[in-house]
Amino acid sequence: MDLPIRSVLYPEVAVMAIKSLKRQTMLWLALLFLTLLSAEVLRRRGDIGGYSIDVTAVLLVTLIKARIIGLDFMELRGAPRRLRLAFEAWLVMVSLGILFLHAVPQGAASQALTRSAQLDAGAIGRPRMDRLPPRQAGD
């Protein structure tokens, strides 16, 4: 009667804990390797046709790292399917957004935003008051 239930289940629990620890260690080492890979890609800085592939490569590595962290360390791998798919879709959308913003020429994006803000403010299409001739007395 002195044998607790835990001692009967303990070997299975210990094996699962060791496997989990080994998996987490291997994933951590993979994250470390991917970080070093990103640093090496940025160190080499290759250009193809004026478009830097280093940002694309680092973004892809970052996407892989974020997926590993989300699925394994934040335990989304065992989460409901919809939550997992939402997480992975979010990763892809954010990555595509960053990639798009990187692909657009730097001046074009800011000019488009400035023009959009001017349109919203109504500054485009109306005469500018500072360019009108000064008023005469008696007008």
User: For the chain, first and last CA: distance in Å?
Assistant: 109
With respect to residue 14, please indicate whether it lies within any of the assigned structural domains.
Answer: yes
With respect to residue 130, please indicate whether it lies within any of the assigned structural domains.
Answer: no
The DSSP call for residue 50 is: T
Q: Hey, what are 80's tokens?
A: 């409901």
Contact yes or no for 100/93 (Cβ under 8 A): no
Instruction: Flag whether the pTM goes above 0.75.
Output: no
With respect to residue 131, please indicate whether it lies within any of the assigned structural domains.
Answer: no
With respect to residue 45, please indicate whether it lies within any of the assigned structural domains.
Answer: yes
With respect to residue 23, please indicate whether it lies within any of the assigned structural domains.
Answer: yes
With respect to residue 128, please indicate whether it lies within any of the assigned structural domains.
Answer: no
| pLDDT, mean of each 10-residue run, the chain (139 residues) | 52 62 88 90 64 77 92 90 94 90 67 63 56 63
Number of domains in the chain: 1
With respect to residue 135, please indicate whether it lies within any of the assigned structural domains.
Answer: no
With respect to residue 66, please indicate whether it lies within any of the assigned structural domains.
Answer: yes
Domain span at residue 56? 5-122
Q: Hey, what are 5's tokens?
A: 């239930």
